[in-house]
Amino acid sequence: MFKYNSSINTNSEAFIKNQQLNQSLADEYFQKLQHIQQGGGNKALQKHMAKGKLPVRQRIDYLLDKDSYFLELSALAANGLYDDAFPAAGIITGIGMVHGRRVMVIANDATVKGGTYISETIKKHLRAQEIAQQNNLPCIYMVDSGGVFLPQQAEVFPDRDDFGRIFFNQSRMSAQGIAQIAIVMGSCTAGGAYVPAMSDETIIVKEQGTIFLAGPPLVKAATGEEVSAEELGGGAVHTQISGVADHLADNDEHALHICRNIIETLPQQNDVQENNFQAPKYATKELLGLIPESGKPFPNVHEIIARLVDDSAFHEFKSEYGTTLVTAFAQIEGKKVGILANNGILFSESALKGTHFIQLCNERNIPMLFLQNITGFMVGKNYEHKGIAKDGAKMVNALANSKVPYFTILMGGSYGAGNYAMAGRAYDPRFLFMWPNARISVMGAKQAAQVLTTIKRDQATALNKEVNEQDLAQIEASIIKKYEAEGSPYYSTSRLWDDGIIIPESSRQIAGLVLNIISKEQKDDTKYGIFRM
C-alpha cells in the first residue's frame, strides 16, 4: 500500500474556518438528536414509566452488551413532518451486540402517539428488516404499539410496502434461518399481533403486555362480549392457554434478560471486529477542516481517503487515467475495501475506470465504499458525440449487477445521474449515510433556476412576447429557495432517503462496523447485462 503524504496545512486560516463551520453543523445535528431522544415528551414519559415500563432507549441499553456500540438508523425520520409530533417516527431501529453477536433492534416508542405507525414508521421498520435480511442479522422486536395511526390508514395499510409487508418479511427471514424474536412489552393490537405470532420465539411481560386481533371495545361492538384486556390477551392467556407467546416475564428487565438468553442459543457467528490495524496517520477529526462551505470546491479527495483508511495507506488503481474519479484498494479497521471517490465531474474516462474497478472488486470479492461528491456526468456536444451516455451506462450496469456488497457516504453534493453511478439509494447500497453538509437533488439549486428561467425566455421569444425580468428574478429566487430546502440532508433523512446523518469524524468507525457486518458472505458469480460498445 502507498502511504499518502498530506499537503494540507491544518493551521491555515481556511482550514480553521472550515473546521468552525462544520463543527457548527455537527452541533446543530446533535441538538436535533437530543430533541428526538426525548420521545413524546416528559408528560408522556412519566405516564409510561408509571406503568412500570422502561423508556425505549433504556430497554435497548439493557438488552445490548455493556459498552458496545449501537448504530442507530434513520434517527431523524419524520423530522419536520406532522408538526414534529412523531420524533424518530415513533420507532427506534439499529444494530447492536448481544453476547458478542450483532442483532437488529426494532423498538416501538409508546411515548410517541402510543407507538402507532405512520408511513415513515413503516418505511423505517421495513428498511431495518431489509438490512437485517441482507446481512443475516437476527431481529429483536420490542413491541409496544397501538398499531396503525388511524387518521393515516389509507397511507399505511393497503399497498405492497405498507404495514402487512412487515409480517411477510418476518416469514421470509425465518425461513432463511434469520432468527425473529419478539418481546411484547405493552399493547400489540390488530395486525400488529402478527409480529409476536410470526416470531420464532416470543416473550410477553405479565400484566403489561397484551396481544389481540381486536381490543375490548371492538370485541364488545362486534359480539357484545365484555372482557378486560388482560383476560382477552394478557401474558397468562398467551403463555398458558393460546400458546401465542413462549415466555412469561415479570417485568421489562426480566423480559430483556430472557431475550439475551435466547440470542445465546443461536448458532454462533464470528462477529468480532479486527483489532490488528493501524489508525490513519492523519486524524479523522481533521475532516472537519477539509470540508468547504457550500458552493466552494472540495480538496483533492485523496486527503479525505487518507483520514479514513488504515495507516493512511491505499493502492490506487489507474491513478493517471480518468482522474476525476479516484479508485483505490485499502483497509478500514483491518477489513479490505475498494473505494470509489469523486474528485470532480464524471467524464467518459472516469466512468470507464469506475466500471473496470467495480469488476475487479467483484472478481476479488472485495466490498466497495462510494464517497459521493458529484454534480453529475459531463454534458455538451463534444461529450455527447463521444458517447458519454453509453460510457456512463457501463458503470451503472456494472454496479447494478454487482454481487459484492457496497455502501455509500454522501460527503458533498449528490446530483443527477451521478447519484446513480455512485451508488445512490436506487442502486441498493447496503447502507447510505450523509454528512451534515451534504446536498441531494436532481441538480443544483442555481442550475435548476437557470434552466427554468431559460425555458421561460425561450417560450416568450417563441410567442413574440417581452420577457419580464422582475418576474423571472422572482421565479429564480423561488426555485433556489425550494431546491435549497429540499436538498437539505434533514429533508432527505426525514423521508428515509438515507439511513441517517453521520458526522464526518465518526465515518471511519461506522465504515469499519459496516464492513464487518457485510463482509462475512461469499459472492456468487457476477453476470452483467449487455455493455453498449
Model-level pTM?
A: 0.94
Tell me which DSSP letter residue 241 carries: I
Phi, psi angle pair for 498, to nearest 5°: -145, 180
CA distances from 397 to 308, 385, 421 (A): 28, 21, 9
Task: Look up residue 375 and give its amino acid.
Answer: T
**Residue 471 confidence (pLDDT) above 90:** no
Q: How far apart are CA 77 and CA 416, in angstroms?
A: 24
Kindly report the average pLDDT of the chain as a whole number. 94
Residue 353 clears pLDDT 60, i.e. is over it: yes
CA distance 500 to 261: 30
pLDDT in tens, 157-210: 899 999 999 999 999 999 999 999 999 999 998 878 899 999 999 999 999 999
At 456 the pLDDT is 84
Position 190 scores a pLDDT of 81
Measure the CA–CA gap between 518 and 367, rounded to whole angstroms. Answer: 8
Encode pLDDT of 313-330 as tens digits. Answer: 999 999 999 999 999 999
Task: Report the C-alpha gap between 352 and 346 in whole angstroms.
Answer: 10
Residue 338: per-residue pLDDT: 98
Asked whether the beta carbons of 230 and 210 are under 8 A apart, the reply is yes
Quick check: 522 pLDDT over 60? no
Query: 10 Å Cβ neighbour count for 381?
Result: 7
Separation CA 489–CA 74 (nearest Å):
12
Judged against a pLDDT cut of 60, whether residue 383 lies above it is answered with: yes
Helix (H, G, I), strand (E, B) or coil at 268: coil
Instruction: Dig out the grid coordinates for 254 from the structure.
Output: 426480566
Per the model's pLDDT, the better-predicted residue between 148 and 301 turns out to be: 301
* Residues 73 and 125 sit within 8 Å (Cβ to Cβ): no
Q: Which three cell numbers stand for residue 107?
A: 423498538
* pLDDT of residue 521 exceeding 90: no
Per DSSP, what are the bridge partners of residue 117?
148
Among 213-227, 500-514, 519-533, name the one with the lowest average pLDDT: 519-533
Does residue 411 contact residue 371 with C-beta atoms inside 8 Å?
yes
pLDDT for 274 equals 66
pLDDT of residue 86: 98
Question: Can you give the pLDDT at residue 63?
Answer: 98
**Cα distance between residue 198 and residue 186, in whole Å:** 17
Q: Specify the residue for cell string 408511513.
A: 119
Tell which residue, 387, 379, 386, 448, has the closest CA to residue 417. Answer: 379
* Sign (positive or negative) of CA dihedral 149, 152, 158, 161: negative
**In the numeric block, which cell numbers belong to residue 529?**
447485462
pLDDT tens digit string along 482-515? 888 999 999 999 999 999 999 999 999 999 999 9
Per the listing, cell 402487512 goes with 164
pLDDT of residue 272: 58
Q: What is the bridge-based pairing of β-strands 313-317 and 325-332? A: antiparallel
Q: For residue 387, what are the contacts with CB-CB under 8 A and spacing of at least 6?
A: 348
Closest to 417 (Cα-Cα) out of 370, 378, 361: 378
Nearest to 69 by CA among 511, 472, 455: 511
pLDDT in tens, 281-294: 999 999 999 999 98
> Given a cut of 80, is residue 348 above it in pLDDT?
yes
- Of 102, 73, 104, the closest CA to residue 89 belongs to 73
Contact 80, 166 (CB under 8 A): no
Q: Which of 120, 92, 88 is nearest to 107 (CA)?
A: 92
Which position has the grid cell 453477536?
101
Cβ neighbours for 302, distance < 8 A, ≥ 6 positions apart: 4, 326, 343
The answer for residues whose C-beta is within 8 angstroms of residue 290's C-beta and 6 or more apart is 8, 15, 18, 298, 299, 303, 304, 307
Distance CA 95, CA 510 (A): 11
Per-residue model confidence (pLDDT) at position 451? 84
d(CA 431, CA 424): 10
**For the ranges 10-14, 319-323, 440-444, 496-500, which has the lowest average pLDDT?**
440-444
Of residues 153, 150, 55, the one with CA closest to residue 110: 55
Number of H helices, E strands in the chain: 21, 15
Among 72-76, 143-147, 246-250, 450-454, whose mean pLDDT is lowest?
A: 450-454
